[in-house]
C-alpha cells in the first residue's frame, strides 16, 4: 500500500483541526519519511556546492569560474526540489489541479487560529516576518570563503563586471531566486513537509521544521545558525496561520531586492 495512504490512518492534532475548519485532511508523515525527503533535497544541494561546482569551475577556468559554477549548480539543485514536491503531491493527491495543490501545500491566505477567518488584516503578519528576517540578516555570518558567497560576490567589482550587459546571467539569477523562495525551498519545507509533520513532532513540528531547514543548508554551512533563528519568523507563523503562502511572500522579499540590484547592474551604462 502506498505510504501516503497508510499514513492517513494515524490521526493527529492537525487532522482534527483541519476537519473542524473544513480543510482537506492531509496525510501525516513518519519521522523516517520526513528525513528521507529532507535528504533528497539536502544531499543534492551539498553535492552541487562542494563537488559539482568545483569540477565545473576547473573545467571552465577563469577568475569567476567558481561563483558562476555555483550559480548554475545550485539553481539545478533548487529546481530538483520542485520536482520532488510535484512528484510527491501527484502521488498523494492523484492530480496537480491548482485547486487541490493549493490546499495540499497550504498556498492560501493566513487563517486566524481563533476565529477561522482568512486574509484581511492577517496579511500584516507578513510585514512582521520581513522585519524579523531583516534583523537576522544583520547578524554577522560565520567566517567563510567569499568566492562561495554569491551575495558578497555580486557586490564586488568582479560581480559587477560579470553582470554588466549579461542578460543570460540575470536569467540564471532570476531562476535561482524563484526556485529558492517560491518553487523550491519554501514549497518543500513549509508547503509539503510542515503540514505533514504533526504526527511525528506534535506541537513542536514548526521547530523541527526549522531545525531541518537550517541543517539543509550544507551548501552554505556558515548560514546555518542564522537560518535556525529564521525559523521563528518563517516556520512558526506558517504553522500558526496554516499558510505556506505567507512564508513564501516574506522569504521572497529578499529575493526581490537582490533581483532589482542585479538588474541595475545589467542595464548600467
Please tell me the least confidently modeled range out of 6-10, 124-128, 158-162, 186-190. 6-10
Task: Give the residue among 88, 91, 97, 106 at the shortest CA–CA distance from 18.
Answer: 106
Query: What's the mean pLDDT in 83-90?
Result: 96
Burial grade of 216 (CB within 10 A; 0-12, 13-18, 19 or more): buried
Tell me if residue 94 falls in helix, strand or coil.
coil
Burial grade of 143 (CB within 10 A; 0-12, 13-18, 19 or more): exposed
Query: Is residue 255 domain-resident?
Result: yes
Task: Give the residue among 12, 69, 56, 4 at the shortest CA–CA distance from 203.
Answer: 12
Task: For residues 77 and 41, give the distance between their C-alpha atoms in angstroms, rounded to a whole number.
Answer: 8
Is the pLDDT reported for residue 246 higher than 60?
A: yes
Please tell me the least confidently modeled range out of 57-66, 78-87, 107-116, 205-214. 57-66
Is the pLDDT reported for residue 81 higher than 90?
A: yes
Query: Is residue 19 domain-resident?
Result: no
Query: Is residue 26 domain-resident?
Result: no
- So what's the pLDDT on residue 104? 95
What ranges in the chain are assigned the alpha helix state H? 3-7, 13-21, 31-47, 53-60, 65-93, 98-104, 125-137, 150-154, 157-163, 167-181, 185-186, 198-201, 205-216, 224-240, 244-267
Q: What is the percentage of the chain residues whose pLDDT exceeds 70?
A: 91
Find which of 9-18, 37-46, 118-127, 128-137 is predicted with most confidence, using mean pLDDT.
37-46
Is the pLDDT reported for residue 6 higher than 80?
A: no
- So what's the pLDDT on residue 214? 93
Give residue for cell 473544513: 22
Cell numbers describing residue 189: 519545507
Q: What is the percentage of the chain residues whose pLDDT exceeds 90?
A: 50
- So what's the pLDDT on residue 25? 83
Cell numbers describing residue 154: 555580486
Is the pLDDT reported for residue 15 higher than 80?
A: no
pLDDT digits (tens, 9 = 90+) for 26-46: 899 999 999 999 999 999 999
- So what's the pLDDT on residue 89? 96
Give the pTM.
0.84
pLDDT digits (tens, 9 = 90+) for 180-192: 989 989 999 999 9
Burial grade of 63 (CB within 10 A; 0-12, 13-18, 19 or more): exposed
Is the pLDDT reported for residue 1 higher than 70?
A: no
Quote the domain boundaries for residue 127.
38-267
For 166, how many CA atoms within 13 A lie in the half-sphere containing its CB?
16
In total, how many domains does the chain have?
Answer: 1
Query: Is residue 8 domain-resident?
Result: no
Query: Is residue 222 domain-resident?
Result: yes
Predicted confidence band at 83 (pLDDT cuts at 50, 70, 90)?
very high
- Region at 268 (left for phi over 0; alpha for psi -120 to 50; beta for the rest): beta
Query: Is residue 245 domain-resident?
Result: yes
pLDDT digits (tens, 9 = 90+) for 131-170: 888 887 777 777 777 777 777 777 788 778 888 888 988 8
Cross-strand bridge partners of residue 18: none
Is the pLDDT reported for residue 53 higher than 70?
A: yes
Query: Is residue 213 domain-resident?
Result: yes
- So what's the pLDDT on residue 88? 96
Query: Is residue 17 domain-resident?
Result: no
Amino acid at each position: 500500500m502506498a505510504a501516503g495512504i497508510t499514513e492517513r490512518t494515524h490521526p493527529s492534532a492537525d487532522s482534527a483541526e483541519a476537519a473542524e475548519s473544513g480543510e482537506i485532511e492531509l496525510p501525516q508523515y513518519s519521522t523516517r519519511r520526513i528525513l528521507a525527503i529532507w535528504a533528497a533535497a539536502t544531499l543534492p544541494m551539498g553535492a552541487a556546492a562542494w563537488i559539482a561546482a568545483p569540477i565545473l569551475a576547473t573545467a571552465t577556468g577563469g577568475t569567476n569560474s567558481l561563483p558562476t559554477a555555483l550559480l548554475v549548480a545550485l539553481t539545478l539543485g533548487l529546481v530538483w526540489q520542485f520536482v520532488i514536491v510535484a512528484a510527491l503531491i501527484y502521488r498523494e493527491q492523484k492530480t496537480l489541479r491548482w485547486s487541490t495543490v493549493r490546499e495540499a501545500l497550504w498556498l492560501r491566505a493566513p487563517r486566524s487560529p481563533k476565529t477561522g477567518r482568512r486574509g484581511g488584516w492577517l496579511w500584516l503578519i507578513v510585514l512582521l516576518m520581513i522585519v524579523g528576517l531583516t534583523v537576522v540578516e544583520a547578524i554577522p555570518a560565520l567566517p567563510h570563503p567569499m568566492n562561495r558567497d554569491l551575495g558578497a560576490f555580486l557586490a564586488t567589482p568582479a560581480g559587477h563586471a560579470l553582470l554588466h550587459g549579461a542578460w543570460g546571467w540575470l536569467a540564471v539569477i532570476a531562476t535561482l531566486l524563484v526556485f529558492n523562495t517560491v518553487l523550491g525551498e519554501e514549497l518543500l519545507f513549509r508547503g509539503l513537509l510542515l503540514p505533514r509533520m504533526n504526527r511525528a513532532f506534535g506541537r513542536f513540528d514548526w521547530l523541527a521544521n526549522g531545525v531541518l531547514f537550517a541543517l539543509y543548508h550544507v551548501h552554505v554551512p556558515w548560514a546555518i545558525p542564522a537560518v535556525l533563528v529564521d525559523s521563528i519568523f518563517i516556520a512558526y507563523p506558517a504553522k500558526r496561520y496554516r499558510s505556506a503562502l505567507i512564508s513564501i511572500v516574506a522569504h521572497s522579499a529578499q529575493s526581490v531586492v537582490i533581483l532589482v540590484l542585479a538588474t541595475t547592474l545589467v542595464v548600467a551604462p
